[in-house]
């Protein structure tokens, strides 16, 4: 896949559109969609393939099987593997060789010559039985957008399973679990300008193009930009692609910045391969820190930045205190959600697997893995790193500059209900609403509130006791937040139906509980503000 070839296509819009129609027509006709792949392989093999475990898919497609004397199941698998969909999966997901005739049958519109010119396949000859191999990975991807579902195809480098060896350092990653998470937590508004920082294969830019008026995507890797250009062409969207590190290629401000940056914490000893897609060339978690500190310069007033990251848990300092320091330095509203924590050994093992270090099983490969593993552990030990946190960060440049900045750092390692983007948007709106009340010197009790539709009231009793020992307010969606409350707060929430103001509810409760209304209000106001920020109470 070369820049020259893609540039020649992009130079002529009609040629680009003809290519898009040919490729999409062949992919659609074969059933190469997320649902089509799952139906052909079965749920077990399809899920395994997403984890880069290829054997179940190879068995489902009859790869390498001799059908002479095979039973009915093996013959059926072989037929699936020889179908257009099977040929595409063998080429672009499994790294298996197929014949030229099979590729021509699978791609009747595009043909082998076009695929080879794009760098998607390598062909050994021109005969029907000559071998053709996939040179890229191609993922069927489904996106649930506000105006309907999308079927996309995301080209990238072949995965570590199909390669069977360690990845090259300029490897371009496809759609990962992390990139899916970022797409789901992103707050999406119509008609905005978006910057996708470190776009990789371009998946965040494709999502942004569904709701934005303008999308700029940057990456330091020319290969990544080539893949992003191809994927934008396949999806039929326009993206302004720029090469450069961090914010170097951009001078303007944006309404939304998204980034799945190269956040992996890699020792700089030389024993560990540094991959462009995951290693930012900084020490420790300095790259994520720099992004948090610097992104505000590129946000419009009211603009939001959302990024994934790793951060170190350093001996002698609480991790949330350290992240609060980052948010303070940013000068922005900030919200950090830690979703997972790994100890140093777990962290090193995960990224060694990710890069395929040690694959091949030879003595040199095993030694290289051990050396890299030791380098990671030594680096963490020397710098006092006891664990590494994973999660996402939301930052916002407030539209008004007078109010106090809102900051929240929390751990949410339990199950959440995706997409979280709308939930995060509602929280930011609630923060603005409370700030507006404060600016007008209006108490939350002067407003009318209603209970969010997914909130339940759970009560736990000791047998024989008339009053509950525990009362829980639980949100069924989003973060699934659970708030423990007393009888007064529970009764207040239960009365929030949008008809009465908070003050009227407190007055009635005070009379019922024989408590002074002012005292009850002083107790309830901070708790009610917390419920508003958590999304359990909404403006009427």
Element housing 26 (H / E) = helix 13-30
The pLDDT of residue 37: 95
Query: What six digits make up the tokens of 421?
Result: 């983007």
Residue 462 scores a pLDDT above 90: yes
Sheet containing strand 407-411, edge to edge, reads: 240-243, 214-219, 193-197, 254-259, 299-314, 385-396, 333-342, 407-411
Residue 7 scores a pLDDT above 90: no
Distance, in Å, from the CA atom of 215 to the CA atom of 194, rounded to the nearest integer, reads 5
Residue 511 to residues 247, 283, 449, 518, 520, Cα–Cα distance (Å):
59, 61, 21, 11, 10
Three-state DSSP class for residue 23:
helix
Mean pLDDT of the chain: 92
The pLDDT of residue 72: 55
Query: What six digits make up the tokens of 165?
Result: 């060896």
Residue 155 scores a pLDDT above 90: yes
How sure is the predictor about 348, in pLDDT bands with cuts at 50, 70 and 90? very high
DSSP bridge pairs for 309: 391
The pLDDT of residue 223: 95
The pLDDT of residue 147: 78
The pLDDT of residue 75: 61
Query: What six digits make up the tokens of 172?
Result: 């371009």
Residue 67 scores a pLDDT above 50: no
DSSP bridge pairs for 68: none
How sure is the predictor about 12, in pLDDT bands with cuts at 50, 70 and 90? low
Element housing 240 (H / E) = strand 240-243
Summarize the confidence of residues 16-21 as an average pLDDT.
Answer: 92
How sure is the predictor about 363, in pLDDT bands with cuts at 50, 70 and 90? confident
How sure is the predictor about 81, in pLDDT bands with cuts at 50, 70 and 90? confident
Which of 5-9, 16-20, 139-143, 386-390 has maximum average pLDDT? Answer: 386-390
User: HSE-up of 27 (CA within 13 Å, CB side)?
Assistant: 25
How sure is the predictor about 73, in pLDDT bands with cuts at 50, 70 and 90? low
Is CATH 3.90.25.10 the right assignment for the domain spanning 140-411?
Answer: no
Task: Tell me if the bond preceding 525 is cis, omega within 30° of 0.
Answer: no
Percent of the chain's residues with pLDDT above 70: 94
The pLDDT of residue 64: 61
Chain centre distance of CA 167: 22
**Which of these ranges, 75-84, 263-272, 390-399, 451-460, has the smallest mean pLDDT?**
75-84
Distance, in Å, from the CA atom of 416 to the CA atom of 224, rounded to the nearest integer, reads 31
pLDDT tens per residue, range 302-333: 999 999 999 999 999 999 999 999 999 999 99
Domain ranges of the chain: 3-135, 140-411, 433-539
Percent of the chain's residues with pLDDT above 90: 81
Which of 17-26, 272-281, 350-359 has maximum average pLDDT? Answer: 17-26
pLDDT tens per residue, range 375-417: 999 999 999 999 999 999 999 999 876 788 999 999 999 999 9
| Neighbouring C-beta atoms of residue 307, cutoff 10 Å | 22
Please give the residue that has the higher pLDDT: either 449 or 355.
449
Residue 114 scores a pLDDT above 50: yes
The pLDDT of residue 6: 43
pLDDT tens per residue, range 512-527: 999 999 999 999 999 9
- Give me the phi and psi of 272, to 5 degrees please: -110, 130
The pLDDT of residue 76: 67
How sure is the predictor about 9, in pLDDT bands with cuts at 50, 70 and 90? very low
Residues listed for the chain: 540
Beta-sheet pairing, 193-197 with 214-219:
parallel
What does CATH list as the number for 433-539? Answer: 3.90.930
The pLDDT of residue 124: 86
Burial (Cβ within 10 Å: 0-12, 13-18, ≥19) of residue 171: buried
| Listed residue (251, 196, 236) closest to 219, CA to CA | 196
How sure is the predictor about 280, in pLDDT bands with cuts at 50, 70 and 90? confident
Summarize the confidence of residues 445-454 as an average pLDDT.
Answer: 96
Burial (Cβ within 10 Å: 0-12, 13-18, ≥19) of residue 505: buried
- Entry pTM: 0.92
Burial (Cβ within 10 Å: 0-12, 13-18, ≥19) of residue 142: exposed
Distance, in Å, from the CA atom of 221 to the CA atom of 244, rounded to the nearest integer, reads 8
Exposed e or buried b per residue across 519-540, where buried means at least 16 C-beta atoms within 10 angstroms of its C-beta:
ebbeebeebbbebbbbbbbbee
The pLDDT of residue 4: 37
How sure is the predictor about 2, in pLDDT bands with cuts at 50, 70 and 90? very low
């Amino acid at each position: 896949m070369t820049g020259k070839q893609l540039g020649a296509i992009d130079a002529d819009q009609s040629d680009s559109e003809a290519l898009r129609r040919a490729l999409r027509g062949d992919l659609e006709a074969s059933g190469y969609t997320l649902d089509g792949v799952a139906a052909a392989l079965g749920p077990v093999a399809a899920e395994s393939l997403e984890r880069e475990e290829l054997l179940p898919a190879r068995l489902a497609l009859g790869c390498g099987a001799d059908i002479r004397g095979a039973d009915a199941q093996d013959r059926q698998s072989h037929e699936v593997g020889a179908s257009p969909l099977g040929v595409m999966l063998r080429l672009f997901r499994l790294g298996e060789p197929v014949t030229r005739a099979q590729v021509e049958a699978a791609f009747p519109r595009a043909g082998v010559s076009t695929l080879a010119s794009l760098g998607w396949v390598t062909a050994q000859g021109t005969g029907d039985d000559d071998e053709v191999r996939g040179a890229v990975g191609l993922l069927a991807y489904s996106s649930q957008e506000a105006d309907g579902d999308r079927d996309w195809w995301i080209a990238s480098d072949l995965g570590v399973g199909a390669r069977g060896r360690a990845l090259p350092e300029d490897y371009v990653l496809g759609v990962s679990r992390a990139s899916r998470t970022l797409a789901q937590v992103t707050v999406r508004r119509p008609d905005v300008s978006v910057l996708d920082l470190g776009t990789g294969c371009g998946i965040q830019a494709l999502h942004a193009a569904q709701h934005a008026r303008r999308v700029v995507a940057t990456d330091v890797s020319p290969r990544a930009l080539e893949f992003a250009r191809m994927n934008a062409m396949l999806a039929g969207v326009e993206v302004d692609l720029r090469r450069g590190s961090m914010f170097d290629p951009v001078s303007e401000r944006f309404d939304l910045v998204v980034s799945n940056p190269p956040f992996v914490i890699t020792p700089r000893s030389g024993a560990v391969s540094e991959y462009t897609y995951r290693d930012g060339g900084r020490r420790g978690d300095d790259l994520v820190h720099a992004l948090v500190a610097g992104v505000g310069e590129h946000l419009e007033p009211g603009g939001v930045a959302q990024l994934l990251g790793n951060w170190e848990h350093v001996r002698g300092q609480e991790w949330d205190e350290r992240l609060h320091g980052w948010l303070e330095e940013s000068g922005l509203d900030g919200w950090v959600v830690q979703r997972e924590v790994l100890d140093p050994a777990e962290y090193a093992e995960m990224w060694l697997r990710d890069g395929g270090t040690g694959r091949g099983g030879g003595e040199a490969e095993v030694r290289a893995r051990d050396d890299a593993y030791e380098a990671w552990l030594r680096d963490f030990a020397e710098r006092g790193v006891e664990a590494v946190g994973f999660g996402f960060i939301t930052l916002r440049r407030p539209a008004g500059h007078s109010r106090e900045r809102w900051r929240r750092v929390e751990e949410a390692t339990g199950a959440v209900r995706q997409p979280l983007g709308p939930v995060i948007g509602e929280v930011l709106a609630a923060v603005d609403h409370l700030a507006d009340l404060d600016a007008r010197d209006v108490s939350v009790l002067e407003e009318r509130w209603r209970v969010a539709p997914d909130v339940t009231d759970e009560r736990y009793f000791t047998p024989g006791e008339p009053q509950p020992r525990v009362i829980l307010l639980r949100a069924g969606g989003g973060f699934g937040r659970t708030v423990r409350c007393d009888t007064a707060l529970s009764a207040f929430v239960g009365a929030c139906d949008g008809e009465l103001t908070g003050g009227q509810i407190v007055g009635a409760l005070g009379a019922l509980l024989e408590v002074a209304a002012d005292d009850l209000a002083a107790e309830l106001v901070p708790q009610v503000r917390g419920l508003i920020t958590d999304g359990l109470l909404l403006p009427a």
